[in-house]
Amino acid sequence: MPQQKSLYHFEPAKGWINDPNGLCRYKGRYHAFFQYNPYSLHWDRMHWGHAVSDDLLHWEELPIALYPDQAYDNGLGCFSGSALVEGDTLYLMYTSVSEKYGQTQSLVVSDGKHFEKYAGNPVIRTNPLDPSNRDFRDPKVFRWGTEYRMVCGTGVDGLASILLYGSVDLIHWEYMGPIFQSRNYGPVAECPDLYPVDGRWILMFSRMEKVRTEQFILGDFDGNRFIPESFQQPEKGPNFYAPQTFYDDTASDGKTATNPADIAAGNSDDKTDGAGRRILIGWMPHYAPLPSDAVRNGAFTIPREVHVREGQICLDPIREAVPLLQPWHVSTAAGPAGTASGLANTAVGFSGNTADTTKKPSDRILSDGDIREIFHADGTCETYYESESRG
């Protein structure tokens, strides 16, 4: 039987997919780039795949955006990064990996269809904590007033760090120091993200441990320092890693909302958080062997809206996905994606890697082919493949 493709979770037509990259809304459409190996079902030399959507549920796969074709990225390729929209221009910042330079950070200028790597790449050539550039990756860029800030992950001798940079032009970057360091959350802080939500700031990173999980830290940011308040893990997985967020400035009434980062930096007269939303998309890795006839490996989660309620970081399904949810206490036989039975749940849940059968009437589930995503009333989530939960 051919490998089934989900209806609402993005998957490539073929090949390997991992981290979401460059998430943004640009020229009226949602863009999602992703770590991609089009040549096999396994991780290897990385490209940037590209897909677009009008509703965050139905995706159109486009031609590959970035190939590892330069001296500074011709080793393991084009690793993860982020997008920044300035008027009609789309900027991409990614980690370029080569045998000669190691892991460095590079810039791309785009109109959404054509992608030109900056002639002066890499724009950041050296890890300030480790000149070998062994683990120095995943730049996430955002505006701060009239300037830019960027966080980048690294790890040296078991000390995981998130580094902060500042720039006025996206080309010349000043290292501002580490904003987070610890030996308790894995040896490398991968895929960091720093963003404002509901008047607070969240620092997020992926823990590169044996059991890979996502760490969220609620706190405050003043443009130079991040002050942590509480460490949280609203996403329980287990098939979840390397998420990224973006600010969707299209409000539910169709108007354009003010980015909270501009408000925090004093770059707007609007003193509210605007009417937009912070959207998060994660990667769903497979941990069990694929069928022998598989043609693709990996998927994106359904996008979530990030909120802070009473000091708790909450991940809610986007409003577009709400009609697809069913109460978790309903149980029928699983069927093909898109059928009545295929959008029902099985009585299986996960908390980390352990079964969790505690259900509440307000808990909801989204089933799409083999994918299950449970949204709990307290704002936590569980994400897994049904076939792997049975194994």
- pLDDT < 70 positions in the chain: 1-2, 251-274, 329-361, 390-391
| 186 and 318 belong to one structural domain | no
Quick: pLDDT tens for 12-23.
999 999 999 999
> Is 10 within a domain?
no
**Which residues does 108 contact at the CB level (< 8 Å), separation at least 6?**
66, 91, 92, 93, 94, 115, 116, 117, 118
* 205 part of a folded domain: yes
User: Is 44 found in the same domain as 186?
Assistant: yes
Domain boundary among 249, 274, 300: 300
Residue 243 sits in a domain whose CATH number is 2.115.10.20
Cβ(383)–Cβ(237) under 8 Å?
Answer: yes
Contacts of 161 (CB under 8 A, 6+ apart): 129, 153, 154, 155, 178, 180, 181, 189
Specify whether 222 is located in the same domain as 349.
no
- Same structural domain for residues 252 and 205? yes
Q: Per the residue annotation, which of 19, 262, 316, 368 is the catalytic one?
A: 19
Do 159 and 274 lie in a common domain? yes
Domain endpoint, select from 267, 300, 333: 300
- Rounded to an integer, what distance in angstroms lies between the CA atom of residue 41 and that of residue 46? 12
Residue-wise DSSP of 279-314: EEEEEE---SPPPTT--EE-EEPPPEEEEEETTEEE
Q: Is 249 among the residues known to form the active site?
A: no
Same-domain status, 80 and 219: yes
- From 300, 326, 357, the end of a domain falls on 300
Exposure string (b/e) for 151-168, b if CB count within 10 Å is 16 or more?
bbbbbbeeebbbbbbbbe
The whole-number pLDDT of residue 332 equals: 39
Do 334 and 189 sit in the same domain of this protein?
no
> Does residue 321 share a domain with residue 273?
no
Residue-level pLDDT at 290: 93
Please report the DSSP string for 69-105 in residue order: -STTTSSSEEEEEEEEEETTEEEEEEEEEETTTEEEE
Alpha carbon separation from 119 to 21, 85, 100, 109 (Å, rounded): 22, 20, 18, 11
The whole-number pLDDT of residue 91 equals 98
Calculate the alpha carbon distances from 263 to 228, 255, 273, 348, 386 in Å. 20, 17, 7, 43, 42
**Are 116 and 144 contained in the same domain?**
yes
Dihedral angle, C-alpha 305, 306, 308, 313, nearest 10 °: 120
d(C-alpha 172, C-alpha 123), whole Å: 7
Give one DSSP letter per residue of 17-36, joined into a string. Answer: EEEEEEEEEETTEEEEEEEE
> Six-digit token pair at 358?
């505690």
What is the domain extent for residue 353?
Answer: 314-389
pTM: 0.90
Q: Which neighbouring-strand residues pair with 308?
A: 313
Same domain, 204 and 55: yes
Q: What's the token pair of residue 182?
A: 């610890």
Residue 121 lies in a domain: yes
Q: Are residues 331 and 373 in the same domain?
A: yes
Strands 277-284 and 299-300: what pairing?
A: antiparallel
The alpha carbon torsion through 108, 111, 115, 119 (nearest 10 deg) reads -50
How far is 82 from 76, CA to CA, in rounded Å? 18
From the list 287, 291, 297, 255, the residue with the least C-alpha distance to 272 is 255
In the block, tokens 């040896």 appear at 187
The predicted pLDDT at position 390 comes to 63
Which pLDDT belongs to residue 256?
Answer: 55
For residue 7, being part of any structural domain is answered with no
Question: Is residue 1 one of the residues assigned to a domain?
Answer: no
Residue 305, in any domain of the structure: no
Q: Are 253 and 109 within one domain?
A: yes
Is 241:214 a contact under the CB 8 Å cutoff? yes
Is 3 domain-assigned? Answer: no
In a domain, 219, yes or no: yes
Q: How far apart are CA 132 and CA 181, in angstroms?
A: 19
Give the count of domains, the chain.
2
